[in-house]
Structure 1
Amino acid sequence: MDLRALFSSNDPIDAGEAFTNRQRQWELVASALEEHLRRIASPAFDVEDLEAPRDNVAVFHGVGGVGKSTLLRKLETVLASAEQRPAQWGAPAWSGERILPIRIDLSRSAGLDFERVVLTIRLALAAAVGRPLPSFDLALRRYWDAQHPGEPLEEYVRRTGLVGRFGKALPQQLQAAVSEVVGALQLPGLAGSAIGQVTTALVGALRERRERAQALAGCARTEALLEAEPDLEALSYYPHLLAWEISRLPAKQAVVPIILLDTFEDTGDRHRDLERLLQRIVWLMPNSFFVISGRSRLAWADDSLQGQLDYTGPAAWPQLAAPADRSARDLGQSSRQHLLGDFSSQDCDAYLARRLTHDGQPLIGPDIRDVITRRSHGLPLHLDLAVARFLEIRRTGRTPIPADFDHTFPALIARTLSDLTPDERHVLRSASLLDAFDLDLATRAAGLTHQAAARQLIERPMVTEDPYAIWPYHLHGAIRAAVRTADDHADDGWTPADWHRAAERALAALGDQWRATASRAFSRTLLVACLRQGLRLARDHRLDDLSWLPDAAIAYDSDAIWEPLAPSAPDQPGSPQPPLDSPADALVELLTTLARRQREHREHTVDRLTAVLDCGLLPGELAEMATYYRAKANRDLGRNEASRHGMQQVADGGGRLALRARRGLADAARIDGDFPTALAVAQPLGYEGRQQRVLGDIWWAHGDIARALAAYETARAEAEHHGNAGEQAISQARLTLAVAFTDPARATDEIALATQLLDGLAQRATTLITHIAALVQDAGSPGVTDRAQTLRTELTVAGLTWLNPSLDTALAFHHAVLGADQDLTATIDHLRESTATGGYAHCTDIAHFMADLPLPEPGTHTQWLDSASATRERWRALVTARRAHLNTPS
């Protein structure tokens, strides 16, 4: 029962601990426990063997609030009563065994010390077994009388509340153990003696090898333990006697203790004093199974702890040893150390729906559950905090709404920061600015000169690792959001100026990493990754100095690959995009627009770039970039005059993009049908101006496919030589279209190569050119017309109207090959209508040439390089050749 919920309102609410998922964790525990039961049942098992490796431990670790304590409470309940097992959890394989779960909360708030841990285990056994465990009980009684003179054990058990969990059996069993010793040794005169005298008598009897004494306390080390000074150190070895006593219980009373140690992280200190004592219990009780939960992995298998703990290294704890890399460790590939993961979205919703109910219906509505789930990143603690907030709002008389939960909770920060060192907290805040990081990036963002704190932080469960990523580490989403957005009430909390300086350091560190690897093979991948993080830092923290970002933006543009660059959304989901009132805002909008233009209508591209230019915040070279790409978008929309004006402006500026702009002017002349001008402008362009590609487009329009192919092949080779994957794909796509008119068989291979080169590139227009090439390849075959209609729809949706004339040219070729005069006439009419403004009007001439039809009057005023008749002959010859290929009659 959730008492907080019960007392939150006069209106009764059904509230309890909802438990969801964790089926995988149950399977892990059940499997490990089954293995443990088989091992201790083996004749070869020796409870007194102190050298054998231990595999009687399973560990669940994870960030604070991920549900470790809830899992252990559920395991305790299920192991105690099979009827409490969730429906999704399968029945365990073992049967006929008496399982005794004992959960011990080690949290500081529980105030537990080592004495109470030992007493808790013995009290649980007292309640379950109902008989004394003589050798252990005698040692415990001797310790108690020495360390707590005048304080009866019965009173201590009552005062500490342990009697409420386990009853009053232990004091009577301890007294019974003493009586059993006296009776077994046949020393009636000791019946009323002090415990010390009884112990001395038993030790003497053991030394004399008396049968009755050895039967009573046959453990080989009983004598030494009873003679040792009864202090805390001796108490930590008494569990060895307890394990021996458990091993010799009669069958009807036999039990297998399952000891669940919760909140193990609270046992840590500089010297690991309490952890050392607890580890002894685990080692000395190999016939008991231990389930341990904490925020970090259990490091007992690490050799580095030698000297701090008694039993260390992979030989001692083979199933606790970490795998070779941390990613495997986080995926649960360490056989007994398991990272407790977050809830899935479905599990979050199910948890919230069952957590609070009214008349059998979920009290928290689906709209609120959706917001809580999204903000939680699957962290159960966030869900519980949201439930508490729901009850708090409801108690005031107001109905909670989704907006009440669209934030993080300061309690998350408190839980996160509570067990970090000051340097770790400093690195954590710095790293929260980054989507992902490595040791160097986190250290430099924190402004530290050494990596020790960063290395310690990445070992925390709040940090996950992907060894194959550029930066392998990233923070848990909910914790990152909490650290960055919630009020930080810690003593060393950062001011806004601290956050701003950290953002500047992080941006500089990203830039240094990019520059240091600019010449390496994976530089493009790193460039994009640095831009994504750097743009968000500059935008969200209003950084005035763009630093390396303009140079990176130019490098991003140069390859024409157009990976998505949009930085992650602002911290508050649903908040509108901020206005363009800083250079960082303008740069983010520029680059994200250039990337998105491959996936959205070119009209949106023009509008976005116009807004970027109108704000006047971009430095000159970046403003030139915006002007150039707006001109390209206008060309794609068929606005040739507006495109020509923009290209001329950039060309006249003489900057980095001047050659590209001159290429744009050459394209504009070609589009207008002024081929002599287009050729003249193209001649001096060179590779930077994509001269060969422009020449290929000119020769293609003339039906001179051989020269066009030669130009495209040269363009592709030049792009490959310069490592420009984007330009290589563009040239290959144009080559594919040209080949499709002359050699359908070769076109298959060229289309496959184009598809391969385009893989991973965001080049929508180029991809659609290969689709047009596929239509040309199949010209004269059934289905081409229907495929062309589908493709036309794609062009319209994308705002790529400049490709419609190419599509119509492909259709005209198809109809001319078939001799379908009526369809050809309709295609020519559509071409004439779509090119009425002058752009691509020469495609209307080409359609006439293919069918050997006379040009209408007035003509299109196309200025061919040789003559209209020569161009006519070349295009007509292509149709004739295709008919011969298909053996289609005229």
Structure 2
Amino acid sequence: MGDLRALFSSNDPFDADEAFTNRQRQWELVTSALAEHLRHIADPAFDVEDLEAPRDNVTVFHGVGGVGKSTLMRKIEAALACDGQRPVQWGAPAWAGERFLPVRIDLSRSAGLDFERVVLAIRLALAGAVGRPFPAFDLALRRYWDVVHPGEPLEEYVRRTGLAGRFAQALPQQMQAAVGEVVGALELPGVVGAAAGQVAKALVRALRERRERARALAGCARTVALLEAEPDLEALSFYPHLLAWELSRLPAKKAVVPVILLDTFEDIADRHRDVERLLQRVVWLMPGTYFVIGGRNRLPWGDGEALQGQLDYTGPTAWPGLAAPATPSAPAAGQGGARQHLVGDFSPADCEGYLARRLSHDGRPLIAPDARAVITGRSHGLPLHLDLAVGRFLEIRRSGRTPTAGDFDFAFPALLARTLSDLTPDERHVLRASSLLDAFDLELATRTAGLPQQAAARRLAERPIVTEDPYAIWPYHLHGAIRSALRAADDHTDDRWTPADWHQAAARALTALGDQWRSTLAPGRILLVACLRQGLRLARDHRLDDLAWLTEAAYAYIDDSIWEPLAPPASDGPADDGPGTVADALVELLTAVARRQHEHRERTVARLTAVLDTGLLPHELSEMAEYYRAKANRDLGRNDASRHGMQRVADSGGRLAPRACRGLAQLARIDGDFPTAMAAARTLGWEGRHQRVLGDLWWPHGEIQRAVAAYEAARADAEHHGVAGERAIAQAHLALAVAFADPARADDELALAHQLLDGLDQRATTLITHIAALVRDAGTPDVTDRAHLLRTEITVAGLTSFQPLLELACAFHHAVLGAHQDLTATVARLHELSAGGGYAYYADIALFMGNLPLPPRPTPPVRWLDGEQPVRDRWRALVTARRGESS
């Protein structure tokens, strides 16, 4: 039908083909990526042990459920196998003579595959393909197995977990052979072959002694560290580094390039991303192996800051191919390019190909490239939109005019007409309401539409224009092309909405989001952030000046100190050139507060000042902006400006008044007025974090035990109130205090601090743990070099107030070593840092550490809680005790 319409649209004949898109395109993407991968690993500069080079060894296929991703993965696996069969429409690959080892691993929950079995599945595949042990990896894996699965033979585990296959016996035999090979190479006749732990220790000794036979077996630079590490799941995730090294050293006749296909990836990408972090580590540590990942969602590893702290390697620098936008053609050799491809609706490349082939003259596309680009962008991959665009092209051409790109920056009423024609009036009502939402559930769509029952929303959700992600907060998503058309075009129906209807629906949606957040028994952080993102966009785009629940949600957002990005997506409607709104100001406020973890504090002060100057924020939110501006000024060392801001917030008596009182107490401490700070701390209560403030007062006095007790109480309070960010802050400060007195315990406290910080975005708190690690290691050789790196990081972050603390850690290090000249230089730096006011007592503490006299100075003396001499004695005792431990 489409071809006949084209044929009869003009007296000027042209070719009108029925374009068809199948999985051949995906196969071409895989073969192109593999060809580039082969060139990359064959380059003499390629180093499998390089942990800093960007990774481009991943291709991702994503799309809604049921579109054939798993079938595609199975086809690719079969086509790459030595005796595999390609579908007839797939062309032959560009390479020749390369031996690939495809390994498809189903990560779906129904498969019940955990990370341990993923590693075993990869090694099992290699057992059959290579037919030889990998000594370093196999020894590490055998040691892990003996510790984690004591008394359980690997053979039995492989059989019980369904990993058996053809190589069930090969792997245990090869692992045992690897142990025996090491025993033989190191001439350890008295070591029992099964004693993997003993063999590992012997190999470590041999590697440290640079024995040639040991280095031939396991010469990877990090073998020693991996064999000495506690054999747990975390260590197991690093062992593939050894496997990658040993694969790179296989003789030519045994050489193989593994292609690991990870299917149903969405089942392991949860909020905490625990398994995803381990799998990502495998991908990063095996740069010579290629990975094809299939899942419902685009892989966000290359998307900047969103996953920092949750995964080890993130951002466009680490994963250039995952961050790059999709391109209409395969990436050129050596140029990287998009590695993420949509399966289901046409990808941009598929749209381009469809439009280029659909209408042609003398073998050349009739639709110009710039017009094809506009059509592709507006279609969101919807084939119906492409057909309508072809029809519009023919209509304009029939009028005697050559179509231009601007003719297709257009939302087709026909698309809406076809979409709406099959819907009942209630379903059309819900469809329009749903177009206001990025995602929705039945209740949210129904309330936005203003209907009393969910029946219409349920029927709409079953239509193909709505996709479902059952694991999302709101499972339903309206197709992008339909949503854009609904918002931009008049649908010409009798029940079409007026501007007032759209405004009222947006207000209902905002209210429904707030009610959903408030009514959930355990709303959690994910729901809060999701509601804020949608709510802020609705309020911004529809000029809803009544912020309703958004103010309360904004305070809930800052309470946890986690700082996820909050900027809502750009509006689907036309650009708003009008004046700023209250919602605009709130978006900028929360963005500035969250972004201060990644921007210089000077930038934070400027942004918050600009927001306050608009006068748009109501009092409660102005107080928030004032408070965080005062915090940023304190971090910059502007104590007077900080004090004035904190005082204004404290005097207002609002929600942040307790925090501002805490800020004033901390500023008194910074000035060395400890009695005033102590008096204020005792009045703060939980909301003012009084226990943490007490800890901050006790440790400068050398009262480490009292400080630790206060921090432990602060951590317990945070756990009781469910405030993850405060718990991490209290634990980091606790680790710092402990580090002065008990380095062994400090190891455990720092480990807990890092665990609690995992998934949080707290730059300043993380810096405290780094400084605590320096204190813990005082007297060891590399402290000075590490301190130099931290100085740079503190300067870049604009955290001026952390510089004195870092210098105090260095002073402790020099005092422990008895390096009086270095200590004197550090004291001089501390005097310079305190010249502008604040932390002058750190220089006194440094002199106490070295048992040196205080010089005369014009500034007021420090007001210690119990006098100067007890403080001096306690700090000198801490230094003396550390010297005793080091000797």
TM-score of the superposed pair, with normalisation by structure 2: 0.60
**Distance in 2 between residues matched to 1:532 and 1:330, nearest whole Å:** 22
Secondary structure of 1:464 counterpart = strand
1:437 Cα deviation (Å)? 1.4
Instruction: Give the counterpart letter for 1:882 in structure 2.
Output: R
- Taking the aligned partners of 2:19 and 2:813, their CA distance within structure 1 comes to 66
Residue 724 of structure 1: aligned partner: 723
Q: Aligned residue for 2:169?
A: none
Q: CA deviation at 1:345?
A: 4.7
2: CA distance between counterparts of 1:630 and 1:702? 30
Question: Which residue of 438, 441, 445 maps to 1:442?
Answer: 445
CA distance in 1: counterparts of 2:603 and 2:490, whole angstroms: 38
Distance 1:399-1:695 versus aligned 2 partners, 3 A rule: farther
Counterpart contact for 2:487–2:573, Cα < 8 Å: no
Q: Name the counterpart of 1:201.
A: none
> Alpha carbons of 1:676 and 1:483: their partners in 2 closer, same or farther (altered >3 Å)?
same
Question: What does 1:59-208 correspond to in 2, within 5 Å?
Answer: 86-87=89-90
Tell whether the 8 Å contact from 2:608 to 2:629 is kept in structure 1 after alignment: yes
1:871 deviates by 2.2
1:176-325 superposed matches below 5 A: none
Cα distance per residue 1:529-576 (max 9 Å; x no partner): 222211111111111322222222223233333332221122269x6x
CA displacement, residues 761-781 of structure 1 (integer Å, 9 cap, x when unaligned): 222211222222222222333
Q: Secondary structure at the match of 1:688?
A: coil
User: Unpaired runs of 5+ in structure 1?
Assistant: 28-61, 68-81, 91-327, 332-338
Deviations 1:491-516 (A, max 9, x none): 32211111001111111111222222
Report the residue type matching 1:718 in the other structure: D
What is aligned with 2:456? 453
Q: Which amino acid aligns with 2:687?
A: E
**How far apart are residue 645 of structure 1 and its match?**
0.2
2:416 and 2:482 in contact (8 A); partners too? yes
Shift of 1:330: 9.0
Alpha carbons of 1:543 and 1:853: their partners in 2 closer, same or farther (altered >3 Å)?
Answer: same
2:23 counterpart residue number = 22
Distance verdict in 2 for CA 1:655–1:369, change over 3 Å: same
| Structure 2 stretches lacking a partner, 5+ long | 29-62, 69-84, 94-293, 298-341
Q: Which residue of 2 aligns with 1:526?
A: 527
**Distance in 2, Cα, partners of 1:752 & 1:377:** 46
CA RMSD of superposed structures (Å)? 4.0
Give 1:537's aligned residue. 538
Deviates more, 1:646-655 or 1:835-844: 835-844
Q: Once the 2 structures are TM-superposed, how far is the Cα of residue 712 of structure 1 from its aligned partner?
A: 0.5
TM-score normalized by the length of structure 1 = 0.59
Paired-residue identity, %: 73
Q: Residue 746 in 1 paired to residue 749 in 2?
A: no
**Partners of 1:645 and 1:787 in 2: how far apart?**
36
Measured after TM superposition, the shift of residue 708 of structure 1 is: 0.9
- For 2:870, the equivalent position in structure 1 comes to 870
Q: Identify the residue that residue 554 of structure 2 maps to in structure 1.
A: 553
**Aligned partners of 1:356, 1:820: CA distance in 2, in Å?**
81
Superposed CA deviations along residues 101-153 of structure 1, whole A, max 9, x for unmatched, are: xxxxxxxxxxxxxxxxxxxxxxxxxxxxxxxxxxxxxxxxxxxxxxxxxxxxx
Distance change in 2, residues 1:443/1:83 (3 Å): closer
Distance apart, 1:83 and its partner CA: 14
Which has the larger displacement, 597-606 or 447-456? 597-606
Q: Which residue of 1 aligns with 2:677?
A: 678
- Report deviation, 1:12: 11
Q: Quick one: structure 1 residues 780 and 566, their matched pair in 2 at CA, closer, same or farther if it must change by over 3 Å?
A: same
Q: Contact 2:627 / 2:646 at 8 angstroms: preserved in 1?
A: yes
Secondary structure of 2:561's aligned partner: coil
CA distance in 2, matches of 1:638, 1:719: 28
Give per-residue Cα distances to partners, 1:399-436, cap 9 Å, x unaligned: 956x7766644443233223222211110110111122
Distance 1:797 1:8 in 2: 64
Q: Judging changes above 3 Å, is the alpha-carbon distance between structure 1 residues 704 and 452 closer, same or farther for their aligned structure 2 residues?
A: same
**Conserved in 1, the CA contact under 8 Å of 2:725 and 2:760?**
yes
Match of 1:485 in 2: 488
Cα distance in 2 for residues equivalent to 1:494 and 1:800: 52
Match for 1:425 among 410, 425, 428? 428
Amino acid at match of 2:537: R
Q: CA deviation at 1:701?
A: 1.9
**Structure 1 Cα separation of the partners of residues 795 and 466 of structure 2:** 46
Structure 1 residues 608 and 26: CA distance shift in structure 2, 3 A: closer
- The 1:406–1:871 alpha-carbon spacing in structure 2 relative to 1, beyond 3 Å, is farther
Instruction: Return the alpha-carbon distance in structure 1 between the equivalents of residues 859 and 400 of structure 2.
Output: 78
Code of the aligned partner of 1:608: R
Aligned AA for 1:872? R
In structure 2, C-alpha distance between the alignment counterparts of 1:622 and 1:475, rounded to whole Å: 33
- The answer to whether structure 1 residue 787 and structure 2 residue 790 are counterparts is no
- The whole-number CA distance in structure 1 between the counterparts of 2:544 and 2:644 is 34
SS in 2 for 1:733: helix
CA spacing shift, 1:720–1:2, aligned 2, 3 Å: same
The verdict on how the C-alpha distance between 1:821 and 1:499 changes in structure 2, with shifts beyond 3 A counting, is same
Quote the Cα distance in structure 2 between the aligned partners of 1:758 and 1:653: 32
**CA spacing shift, 1:375–1:610, aligned 2, 3 Å:** farther
Q: Determine the structure 2 residue equivalent to 1:712.
A: 711
- Is 1:496 matched with 2:495? no
Cα–Cα, structure 1 residues 524 and 361, in superposed 2: closer, same or farther, change >3 Å?
A: same
CA–CA separation in structure 2 for the residues paired with 1:774 and 1:830: 21
2 CA distance for matches of 1:357 and 1:860?
85
Contact 1:23–1:89 (8 Å) recurs in 2: no
Distance 1:848 1:370 in 2: 69
Partner of 1:508: 511
Given that 1:580 and 1:615 are in contact with CA atoms closer than 8 Å, whether structure 2 keeps it comes out as no
Match of 1:468 in 2: 471
Summarize the Cα distance change of 1:673–1:493 in structure 2 as closer, same or farther, 3 Å threshold.
Answer: same
- Structure 2: how far apart are the matches of 1:668 and 1:362? 70
Q: Which amino acid aligns with 1:545?
A: D
Change (3 A) 1:531 1:665: same
Q: Which residue number corresponds to residue 412 of structure 1?
A: 415
Shift of 1:622: 1.7
Q: Which residue of 2 aligns with 1:613?
A: 612
Q: Who is 2:135 aligned against?
A: none
Q: Is the 8 A contact 1:693 1:712 kept in 2?
A: yes
**Residue in structure 1 matched with residue 646 of structure 2 by the alignment:** 647
Q: Residue 580 of structure 1 contacts residue 586 of structure 1 at CA under 8 Å; is this kept in 2?
A: no
TM-aligned CA distance change 1:83 to 1:732, over 3 Å:
closer
Amino acid at match of 1:877: A
Q: Secondary structure at the match of 2:467?
A: strand
For the residues of structure 2 that align with 1:585 and 1:471, how far apart are their CA atoms? 25
Question: Structure 1's 591 and 368: CA in aligned 2 closer, same or farther, altered over 3 A?
Answer: farther
Aligned-pair CA distance for 1:688: 1.2
Over 3 Å counting, the alpha-carbon distance change for 1:846 and 1:18 in structure 2 is farther
Kindly tell me: are residues 600 and 372 of structure 1, through their superposed partners in 2, closer, same or farther at Cα, counting changes over 3 Å? farther
- Distance (Å, rounded) in 1 between the aligned partners of 2:703 and 2:578: 51
Q: Aligned equivalents of 2:393 and 2:834: distance in 1? A: 63
Work out the CA distance in 1 between the residues paired with 2:843 and 2:395: 73
2:827 counterpart residue number: 828
Q: Residue 735 of structure 2 aligns to which amino acid in structure 1?
A: T
Give SS of 2:477's match: strand
The 3 A distance-change label for structure 1 pair 739 and 14 is farther
Q: Distance in 2 between matches of 1:83 and 1:694?
A: 68
The superposition leaves residues 735-785 of structure 1 with CA deviations (integer Å, 9 ceiling, x where unpaired) of: 111122222222222122222222222222112222222222223333333
- Contact 1:21–1:347 (CA<8 Å) still a contact in 2? no
- Counterpart of 2:885 in structure 1: which amino acid? H
| Number of aligned residues | 589
Q: 1:839 to 1:83 in 2, by over 3 A?
A: closer
**Residue 884 (structure 2) aligns with:** 884
Deviation at 1:385, TM superposition (A): 5.2
Aligned 8 A contact 2:609 2:629 in 1:
yes
